[in-house]
Structure 1
Amino acid sequence: MEDVLFCFSIIAIYFGNIFKRQFLYDLLSLTYLFYFVLETTSYIAVSSNFSSSYMFLLIESNKEELTEFSASYITLPIISFIILMATLFFLIRKVRITLNLPKKHLIGVFLFIGVIVVLKMTGLIERNAYHNVVRGVYGYIELQNSVKFNNNILKEDINITSDNEVFVFVLGESTTSQHMQLYGYERETTPFLDSLKDNLHIYDNVISSHVFTLKVVPKIITSLDYNSSGDSTTSLIQIFKGAGFKTYWLANQRAISFHDNVINKIASSCHEFRFYTHLDDVKTTTLDDVIFPDYKRILKEPGKKVIFIKLLGTHFDYNKRYPEDYDKFTNSNKSTKKQRIINYYDNAVLYNDYIVYSFIEELEKHNKKSALLYLSDHGENVYDDSDFFGRSEAVLRESMFEVPFFVWTSKDFEFPNDFEYKPNRAFMTDNTYESIGHLFGVLYSDMDKDKSIFSKSFKERKRIVIDSIDYDSYFLEKHE
């Protein structure tokens, strides 16, 4: 639809004979055909339309990376298509539509503007390659300037209390603990993690502060919490870098999107950061195992390191989050919509179980003083407490907030002296920042150990969600 409408916008210019000089028509023809080159070669190369995220990657890439990409993806079909477009240029450059109509120029202009308005109003313009070129460049610039952090991180303000070497922080997506066998769910959705149960510190009373990623994640990986003014924000990445660790961000998500730019701004401060998908989260079929090669490579590199991993997890569409081998909970022709959705989601949880287990298994092979923390950004209601699936701030359900939170450590991991394991502590993930610093022994001056879920001095507080709701009182009243 977008291609057809965009074609009409170009035809409108030809129809109106708006330009007086041939070189302007040549430029128009070349520009339009290059649009097809961008769209089609992108699809041939990676089965994806040209998105704004590509511009982010192009801007960030160096000469070697671009050369490697070209060598990998420029194939005979792509070369043939480019030659076809070049040939077509010479065929259409002098095309004119000769209809004797009054005020033909004005009609052409209004037709062109009208088509662009339709593209914008319908949202189809988001599929336009040139729109995404502009939006990608603008998004990149905005990303670099959108969040202001405390950049005055002094090494003397960081208290390193351990000699731990590797920390892996796996951040899930839309995974509620209510659908995990590890947390008592009746279906076998986490058999791999269950096999490690004796080696995990599992916390069963952890909630997210919001039900949307953009609102949750900055409060997980920075000093922001519901009491913060945001005037001076410090990220875990900055602290670990200041402590001499090499930092990595591996995300099976888009580099530039409507929702994650602040998060990706934080991510871009890592020594190395990679994004593995260019489609929007609903439509992409890129599975989370795409992260494995880089993860294994990084673990082999010498030196102390922190690896942040952002999964696509169990994000809707649920049935696109796992390969066919993980279609354990199958549907039949008699399955209701509700049954199908639950089965899709549970299959996605099952595959997520394999992914997280594999990260632990690979980490264990390297015999380093290491730890892995897994939690999900928020949960999801999948017909758990109401006849709907998804998340909404207007209709709150416990499953939207209840998230898995557990830690695996190597046998020689150095725990803090005041470490205490109490699995049922009432905790909210906006204090993960303090908890990670405390657990791994890299404490910045603004970290309060009383907020750490791992500390003997941990103090429970009111868990305020959606900025003003006392979670425990709200759902206690609902149960009563």
Structure 2
Amino acid sequence: MAVSSNFTSSYMFLLIESNQRELSEFTASYINTKIILFLALMVVSFFVIRKKKLEIKNSKKVLFGALFFLGIIATLKLTGLIENNAYHNIVRGTYGYFELQKSVKFNTEISKEDIQITADNEVLVVVLGESTTSGHMQLYGYKRETTPLLSAFKSSLFVYNNVISTDVFTLKAVPKILTSLDNTSTEDTTTNLIEIFNKAGYKTYWLSNQRPISFHDNAISKIASASYQFKFYNHKIDKHTTILDEIIFPDYKDILNQSGKKVVFLRLIGTHFDYNKRYPKTYNKFVSDANATKKETVINYYDNAVLYNDFIVYSLIKELQERPEKSALLYLSDHGENVYDNTDFFGRSETILRKCMFEIPFFVWVSKDFQLPKDFEYKPNRVFMADHTYESIGHLFGVMYKDMDARKSIFSNTFKERKRKVMDNIDFDTYFLEKHD
């Protein structure tokens, strides 16, 4: 059920949310004789200590002990070793899980009667990329050959050139992609796209190469937990993981082999920092020589990660293409990334904004017999922001909930343009034009 070996706080999400079959898989993989003996020793020690009367006779010793204990905690935290501490992760994971239940409020009154199904499509795959800016993709005109597979396949894709994210951080961006939440929402509750497909009679799946519990992922995992079946392959801090996105392939194929109509959500680690950990050695195409600067080296790492991401997304499409179902695949990234693009730094920041942090790839592949909406219109340069992906997915697949408005869908001939306000009410289309980047 999981891949990394250390017990992290992410595992608590799985232990609490998992069904009986998944839980048995987890325990078979991660519980062994040594762990059982260790836990038994800790339980016995706890009850032995409880029976002892603790008397404070020497205040200096107590103070010294308290400082020593705090010193250990500080050392674990500063060195990062606390991430490998089972007690800490059990408490943090459990606390994070229940805080998540309180903080995210979803619409619980979705009924099939409020869903209009206008097409007989069978399979939808939604691929969420990570930290991938369109500016480093050959498919979008980048000078390097970073997407040779998708570029050669471009005539079979609906590629949208002017799509941006609402935010530069995953935690803020992804919920606005997969729910009714957008940059102007004032409602107390939000509608989960996965729940709509559940009510409409589709089996929903979530495969993620990112961890379920962390500062950036909690709300997203709550969205994912509505799926009929979900699986997380990664439980380490993003920058430390070395698990490649191809780990998703076997389960992806198994899901497609199952009968019935389905919607599959795939969350990639994509091109997330550390970039050089996002691809195997065989994708080390852009190589730095001994005299390369840090800037040149980082750009090469990132472009290699984009090259590998090209292979991942293309492979997902080809797997669908070989099957008879009426199917579609939508790929977009949660946000972009700044990789020394006319600046002297890489990454993302809400205090130093750059266009490339918002500019994301957004494209669709459909099978030859896929039933497109009657009002479908392909405008590759349409000005769009990803917080209306919720409406666009429903419209494309022909599953429209009562709160979905086709005028918000990038695929509709009734699409209505709006001012693209990112983050704290910043007008994206004038902010950078006037004085930034």
Does TM, normalized by the shorter one, top 0.5? yes
Q: 1:416 aligns with which of 370, 373, 380?
A: 373
Contact map agreement 2:4 2:234 (CA 8 A) in 1: no
Q: 2:129 aligns with which of 165, 172, 185?
A: 172
Shift of residue 79, structure 1, vs aligned partner:
5.3
Shift of residue 343, structure 1, vs aligned partner:
0.3
Q: Please identify, of 45-54 and 258-267, the stretch whose mean Cα deviation from structure 2 is larger.
A: 45-54
Q: For residues 46 and 431 of structure 1, what CA distance do their matches in structure 2 show?
A: 34
Aligned counterpart, 2:397:
440
Instruction: Go from structure 1 to structure 2 and tell me whether the alpha carbon gap of 1:66 and 1:155 turns closer, same or farther (over 3 Å shift).
Output: closer
The one-letter code sitting in structure 1 at the alignment partner of 2:343 is: S
Q: For residues 181 and 323 of structure 2, what CA distance do their matches in structure 1 show?
A: 33
| 1:134 partner SS | helix
Residue deviations 1:242-296, cap 9 Å, x none? 1111111111011111111111111111111111101010100011111111111
Instruction: Go from structure 1 to structure 2 and tell me whether the alpha carbon gap of 1:477 and 1:81 turns closer, same or farther (over 3 Å shift).
Output: closer
Residues paired across the two proteins, number: 425
- Superposition pairs for residues 78-97 of structure 1, below 5 Å? none
Shift of residue 117, structure 1, vs aligned partner:
5.0
Q: 2:416 aligns with which of 438, 456, 459?
A: 459
CA RMSD of aligned residues (A): 2.7
Shift of residue 155, structure 1, vs aligned partner:
1.3
Q: For residues 198 and 450 of structure 1, what CA distance do their matches in structure 2 show?
A: 26
Q: 1:106 aligns with which of 49, 53, 62?
A: 62
Q: For residues 111 and 479 of structure 1, what CA distance do their matches in structure 2 show?
A: 49
Contact map agreement 1:204 1:423 (CA 8 A) in 2: yes
Q: For residues 35 and 196 of structure 2, what CA distance do their matches in structure 1 show?
A: 49
The one-letter code sitting in structure 2 at the alignment partner of 1:266 is: I
| 2:289 partner SS | coil
Aligned counterpart, 1:370:
327
Q: For residues 206 and 223 of structure 2, what CA distance do their matches in structure 1 show?
A: 10
For structure 2, the residue ranges without an aligned partner over 5 or more in a row are 49-56
Q: Please identify, of 357-366 and 419-428, the stretch whose mean Cα deviation from structure 2 is larger.
A: 357-366
Shift of residue 163, structure 1, vs aligned partner:
0.3
Q: For residues 220 and 25 of structure 2, what CA distance do their matches in structure 1 show?
A: 28
Shift of residue 221, structure 1, vs aligned partner:
0.7
Shift of residue 108, structure 1, vs aligned partner:
5.7
The one-letter code sitting in structure 1 at the alignment partner of 2:266 is: I
Q: For residues 25 and 108 of structure 2, what CA distance do their matches in structure 1 show?
A: 34
The percent of aligned pairs where both chains have the same amino acid is 67
| 1:188 partner SS | coil
- Superposition pairs for residues 26-425 of structure 1, below 5 Å? 48-69=5-26, 71-72=28-29, 105-106=61-62, 109-119=65-75, 122=78, 124-425=81-382
- TM-score with structure 2 setting the length: 0.91
Structure ID, larger Rg: 1
| Alignment of 1:470 onto 2:427 | yes
Instruction: Go from structure 1 to structure 2 and tell me whether the alpha carbon gap of 1:116 and 1:432 turns closer, same or farther (over 3 Å shift).
Output: same
Instruction: Go from structure 1 to structure 2 and tell me whether the alpha carbon gap of 1:452 and 1:258 turns closer, same or farther (over 3 Å shift).
Output: same
| 2:239 partner SS | coil
Instruction: Go from structure 1 to structure 2 and tell me whether the alpha carbon gap of 1:146 and 1:186 turns closer, same or farther (over 3 Å shift).
Output: same
Instruction: Go from structure 1 to structure 2 and tell me whether the alpha carbon gap of 1:445 and 1:126 turns closer, same or farther (over 3 Å shift).
Output: same
The one-letter code sitting in structure 2 at the alignment partner of 1:363 is: L
Instruction: Go from structure 1 to structure 2 and tell me whether the alpha carbon gap of 1:332 and 1:58 turns closer, same or farther (over 3 Å shift).
Output: same
Q: For residues 84 and 466 of structure 1, what CA distance do their matches in structure 2 show?
A: 48
Shift of residue 396, structure 1, vs aligned partner:
1.1
Contact map agreement 1:143 1:264 (CA 8 A) in 2: no
Which structure is higher in RCO with an 8 Å CA cutoff and minimum separation 6?
2
Q: For residues 423 and 107 of structure 1, what CA distance do their matches in structure 2 show?
A: 68
Q: For residues 63 and 198 of structure 2, what CA distance do their matches in structure 1 show?
A: 60
Residue deviations 1:432-473, cap 9 Å, x none? 111111111111111111111111011111000113100001
Moved over 6 A (4+): 80-87
Instruction: Go from structure 1 to structure 2 and tell me whether the alpha carbon gap of 1:67 and 1:461 turns closer, same or farther (over 3 Å shift).
Output: closer
The one-letter code sitting in structure 1 at the alignment partner of 2:370 is: F
